[in-house]
Structure formats: structure tokens, C-alpha cells
Amino acid sequence: MSLDFPLILVILVFGTGLIWLADRILWAPGRQKSLDALCEQFPEWNQEGTADARQFASSAETLPRESTIVEYSRSFFPVLAVVFVLRSFIAEPFQIPSSSMVPTLEVGDYILVNKFIYGIRLPVVRTKVFSISEPERGDVMVFFPPHLNKTYYIKRVIGLPGDVVSYRSKRLYVNGEPIPFEPLAVVPDGRSRYQMGMSELGGKSHLQQINLMRPGRDFTVTVKPGHYFMMGDNRDNSSDSRVWGQVSERDIVGKAFAIWMHWDSLFSIPSFDRVGGIE
């Protein structure tokens, strides 16, 4: 079972915040009042070595104290609140778990996703409260696919609402226009032969690859209003809109814009050779 981290973070932030606030309103004034009364009883409590100081120290042991849960809430709430704001509304890190975006993104890449470029959304419920811009063809986008409501996917935006997307003989067409593809190299890999090339979509160039040994599946589809057609750059090794359908605008998470680290596994050494922007 996958954990719903956004929901857990919301619960932690509001839980610790409410506990801290309740303590400030309900219990902290009483503790302060008891302390003030003790200070008045022993006027020289802060003068070391005096009888008042000794009696004050002894009597202070009986004063009501801040509970452990309140202490932890007060300590963790500011940190959790900062993480919540950054992660929910500004930028969020993700790890690439599969090869569906090779050669643009490799397994083990750690990327940053802009959470506000497509609009400000409430965490967990995903309701957009403020619109900034809309996805463009060629954007590398993180989203929730229609068949997995709590699993993050990353693919490239191919079709916008109303577009007609076609795939024939492993060539992509949008609204009847072929998407430029310039072959660069053919790479043998066991029983497969991958053709790598440079494609241009939405005025942006990016690398993609196809498996010359695997037959393609031709199709033509019209993108529904409020939806986007997504495909991986590793055309023949990608579960995308060709398999599970179009992505609703409501399920958009953000735009991937940078690789900040590459880490293959727990027992390998992190690398920063791939640091840079995502095309």
C-alpha cells in the first residue's frame, strides 16, 4: 500500500499547529500565572546563593510543566509548516523510478518540479484556486494518471485539449502535422536496436528513442476538453496515454524543470554529472 504523503503532511502540520495553539490559549497562561506568583513569593529568586533562590528552585519543581507532546509540537510545527508551503506550492523533489523517459531522464535521476507554474492548487483535494498558465506541448509534466489516483507519473505533453494526435509507423502527428524527428544514432542493446533522435514539439527540442525491433501500434485520438495526451520519450517502453487514457487537468502536479542529482541505488555513490535543466 502506497502512503499518501501529502495527506500525512497536512495532518502533521495542522495537528502540531493546533496542539501548540491550544496550549498557548488554554494552558500556557496558567503556567505563567503560577510562575509569576512564585516569583512574587520569593523576590530574590534570581540572586544566586540567597535563601529565596534556594526555596524558589525547590518550589519550582512542583509547578505545572509543558507536556511532552506540546514541546514536540512547538518544536516541529515551524519546520513542518515550511516544508508544507515549499512542497505544496513552490517546488517538490521526485525520483525517476522507470525508463519511460529515457534518454531525457534516466532511472535514478532526482528532479525538481515547479508546483505553481500551472496554478496554485490546494494540497490533497487538488482544487485549483489561482490560475497562472496552462501546460504547453513539449512540457515534461508530473501528474496522477487516471488509473492510479495516488501515484505520480512523469511524461511529456503531446496533445492539448482539442488536438488530434496520430501515431503512424512510429511517427507522431499533431493536428495532421508531422512532428519533426532527426535520427542521430542507432544503438544495439541485446535483441533490441534503439534509434535515438532529436524531436521538436511546441518549439522545444528534446531527445527521444524508439525500438526498431518492436512493432508500433498506430492510433488516432482527439484530446478531450480539460485533458492532456501524454507520452514517454522512450516511445516503445512507456505506459502512457496510449494505455490508460488522457490526463485530467485536475490531476496535474507540476512541470519538471531540473535534474539536481543522480543516485542509482542506496549502495552507490550519488552523482551530480547530470545536473541541469530538463528540455
**DSSP letter assigned to residue 86:** I
Residue scoring higher pLDDT (81 or 213): 81
Catalytic residue among 155, 199, 238, 255: 155
Q: Compute φ and ψ for 4, nearest 5 degrees.
A: -90, 85
Q: Cβ–Cβ contacts within 10 Å for residue 147, how many?
A: 11
Look up 155 and say whether it is catalytic.
yes
Catalytic residue among 73, 88, 100, 238: 100
pTM of the full structure: 0.85
The pLDDT assigned to 163 comes to: 98
Quick: pLDDT tens for 198-211.
Answer: 999 988 899 999 99
Angle at 215 (CA atoms; ends 159, 237), nearest 5 degrees: 60
Indicate the CATH number of 97-277 among 2.10.109.10, 3.40.50.720, 3.30.360.10, 2.60.120.260: 2.10.109.10
Beta bridge partners of 189: 192
Hey, what's the cell of 97? Answer: 523510478
User: Cβ(94)–Cβ(110) under 8 Å?
Assistant: yes
Band of pLDDT at residue 1, cut at 50, 70 and 90? very low
Inform me whether the pLDDT recorded for 253 exceeds 90.
Answer: yes
Lowest mean pLDDT among 10-14, 15-19, 146-150, 188-192: 188-192
Band of pLDDT at residue 63, cut at 50, 70 and 90? confident
**DSSP letter assigned to residue 279:** -
User: Cβ(207)–Cβ(101) under 8 Å?
Assistant: no
Residue scoring higher pLDDT (192 or 124): 124
CATH 2.10.109.10 residue window(s) in the chain: 97-277
The pLDDT assigned to 3 comes to: 67
Quick: pLDDT tens for 97-147.
Answer: 999 999 999 999 999 999 999 999 998 888 899 899 999 999 999 999 998
Q: What's the mean per-residue pLDDT of the chain?
A: 92
Beta bridge partners of 166: 173, 220
Identify which of 117, 148, 15, 27 has the alpha carbon closest to the alpha carbon of residue 73.
Answer: 15
> Residue range 178-192: average pLDDT?
86
